[in-house]
Structure 1
Amino acid sequence: MLAAGTLAPALAQDAAAPAAEAPAEAAPTAPAAPVSPDTVVATVGGEPITEADLSFAAEDLTQELSQMPAEQRKPFLLRVLIDMKVMAKAGQDAGMADTPLFQQRLNYLKERALRRAFFAETIANAVTEDAVRAQYDKFVADFVPAEEIRASHILVADEAEANAIKAELDGGADFATIAKEKSIDPGAANGGDLGFFGKGMMVAPFEAAAFALTDIGQISAPVKSQFGWHIIKLEEKRQSTPPAFEQVAGQLQQQLLMQTFDDTVARLMDGVTIDIPDAALKAAVDAQSETQPAEEAPAQ
């Protein structure tokens, strides 16, 4: 699997690229009813601008469109295309289309468009909801429950105050009331309740003391961390459960998209000879291809 950081921008661009067959979805202000990609929205010097042209422009201007109100997007895209038509004609009249450099650029743009089309039709379309649900079912089947606890704490600045509070608690004082009155933790207003957490989620001294508590309602001795002195009360224990499908569907979909991309590229590369004369550049390219980050499981 190629490096996620390397592939993410390209995959995001491809995934965001709407199919030419559905320009109504690509143009953000298009009506809900289906619109033919051949529908002409304007003519410039007799040259038509169609709904499909608007969708193509939207692919390239996603960032700009995201920063403006929806009602301004279609006029903005049309203005861009009008300018493009006028300037393209000027470039054509000046002979710019006949230069070798322009032909190279044209070939690049053609291959980029084909790559996007192939990605959308062959790769993205393969990542169906059924495939994502199957991946989720596998995740649930492989899920290993872990211990989680719910705890409350009182946080103070110095040990002497912590010892004094512990003495009050040992004498029967209400934990939540003291937390609201004396704790300097931002969550003190709810009685110091931290909710459920598993191992690895809290700073080490706090975690060790919290998970050392065995009985519900048990209160720890003061324990020091970089935040101050904590007194911890064990509220509940449980075993973790898999997150709901809706919580991890997006992450699973992205994992499947990356895996499908990798598998497809590997298949296409099979038997293809690639020659990179620059040894240093070849080594750098090979290093990127060999980077294989650990596959991430959905957040538990």
Structure 2
Amino acid sequence: MQPRLVALAGAFALGLAATPLAAQDADTVVATVGGTEITIGHMIVARQTLPRQYQQLPDEVLFPGLLDQLIQQNALAQSLEDPTKATQLTIENQRTGLLAGEALGMAGQDAVTEEAIETAYEDRYAEAEPSTEYNASHILVETEEEAQSLIGQIDEGADFAELAREHSTGPSGPDGGALGWFGAGMMVPEFEEAVMALEAGEVSPPVQTQFGWHVVKLNETRMADAPPLEEVRAEIAEELRQQAVEARIAEVVEQADITRAEIDVDPAILSDLSLVAE
């Protein structure tokens, strides 16, 4: 922060001292540039757009620099008598984008209530039967021949985890091929089918998936009850939010008076920046 800005802010703050704190709100004017008012509200929202490291600065340090930035920004904007068409269109897009974002944010926020979360949890898990979860390990290689060779070594007494560390090309290799616990639908179909066909401690024949060839070992299974609400609260809240957002989009689009121009447009025109350069 430059010393002259701090001094400017100090002098400005003395001027504000005459205004009772209780009377200051988002509409309180802190500066005027060419007749355009800069308010505390402008400063508050401008702060939210700053990089995180600047937002963490103390208020007394941030205030003068932010005020100076808005003064300069307004002065420069007013000096531009004829902005390009690209700038004008960008402003329009940003305005509608901000308003649309606020509309969707409100829709999502209204949908995520404690009652809605609890209802969604009950609907999903109240009558859910305990499900089987699997704990498995695998060795991922490029060819079926490699997989078959590893199975032969395992049959002869080689340690599965050691072979995985030595040969597996998958991210679980360094962990001995351990995949941890997972339920139905969490693995690709071919892999899941192979796991479900195994008994605990058994090793599969070579299994081909989009990732390569697997040697799979089922370590153990367990029956999993419904998770507690707190464990899935964030997931349910996000689902409710997304459902509300999608429903709101569909609703407003259906209600809006929309007319699509019946003209043929070459998609390549999107790259013609000369159309918005003036």
Report the equivalent of 1:276: 259
Aligned partner (choices 130, 133, 138) of residue 153 of structure 1: 138
**Structure 2: distance between partners of 1:124 and 1:208:** 38
Q: Does 1:258 align with 2:235?
A: no
Measure how far apart 1:224 and its partner are: 4.0
How many angstroms does 1:225 deviate by? 4.2
1:245 alignment partner in structure 2: 232
Count of matched residue positions in the alignment of Structure 1 and Structure 2: 226
TM-score (norm 1): 0.54
Q: Distance in 2 between matches of 1:149 and 1:187?
A: 16
Aligned residues: percent identity? Answer: 33
Residue 19 of structure 1: aligned partner: none
1:183 maps onto 2:168 in alignment: yes
Structure 2 distance, partners of 1:242, 1:50, is 49
Judging changes above 3 Å, is the alpha-carbon distance between structure 1 residues 79 and 245 closer, same or farther for their aligned structure 2 residues?
Answer: farther
The one-letter amino acid paired with 2:202 is Q
2:70 is equivalent to residue 81 of structure 1: yes
Q: Which residue identity does 2:191 align to in structure 1?
A: F
Answer whether contact 2:132 2:221 (CA < 8 A) is retained.
yes
Cα deviations by residue, 1:183-223 (Å, 9 ceiling, x for unpaired): 3433222221112234454444433322211x211112233
Distance 1:228 1:276 in 2: 50
Q: Distance in 1 between matches of 2:102 and 2:147?
A: 64
Residues 255 and 90 of structure 1, relative CA distance in 2, 3 Å threshold? same
Equivalent in the alignment of 2:125: 140
2:117/2:233 contact within 8 Å kept: no
Residue of structure 2 in register with 1:195 after alignment: 180
Residue aligned with 1:237, SS: strand
Cα 1:228–1:114 shift into 2, 3 Å: closer
Please say which structure displays the higher CA radius of gyration: 2
How far did residue 232 of structure 1 move? Answer: 1.4
Identify the range of structure 1 (117-126 vs 222-231) with the bigger mean alpha-carbon deviation. 117-126
**What residue is the counterpart of 1:234 in the other structure?**
218
Task: Give the alignment partner of residue 26 of structure 2, picking from 37, 40, 43.
Answer: 37
CA RMSD of aligned residues (A): 4.7
Amino acid at match of 1:235: N
Do 2:151 and 2:215's aligned partners in 1 also have CA atoms closer than 8 Å? Answer: yes
Taking the aligned partners of 1:118 and 1:157, their CA distance within structure 2 comes to 49
CA distances 1:116-135 after superposition (whole Å, capped 9, x unpaired): 79848974663353255245
Correspondence for 1:13: none
The Cα of 1:151 is off from its aligned counterpart by: 0.8
Deviates more, 1:40-49 or 1:201-210: 40-49
TM-score, normalised to structure 2's length? Answer: 0.57
Cα deviation code 1:135-191 (max 9, x no counterpart)? 542343476765432211223445455444323433444322332344343322222
**Equivalent residue of 2:134, what SS?**
strand
Tell me: CA distance 1:67–1:183, structure 2 relative to 1, closer, same or farther (3 Å).
same
SS for the counterpart of 2:152 is: helix
Q: Which residue of 2 aligns with 1:166?
A: 151
1:186 is paired with a residue of what secondary structure?
A: coil
Q: Check the 8 A contact 1:143/1:242 in 2, yes or no.
A: no
Which amino acid is the alignment partner of residue 196 of structure 1? W
3-state SS of 1:261 partner? helix
- Name the CA distance, whole Å, in 2 between partners of 1:84 and 1:238: 63
Q: Does structure 2 conserve the Cα–Cα contact (< 8 Å) formed by 1:136 and 1:252? A: no
CA displacement, residues 222-252 of structure 1 (integer Å, 9 cap, x when unaligned) = 3344554432111122456458234415513
Q: What does residue 111 of structure 2 align with?
A: 127
Aligned partners of 2:193 and 2:222: how far apart in 1? 17
Gaps of at least 5 residues in structure 1 are: 1-34, 97-104, 282-300
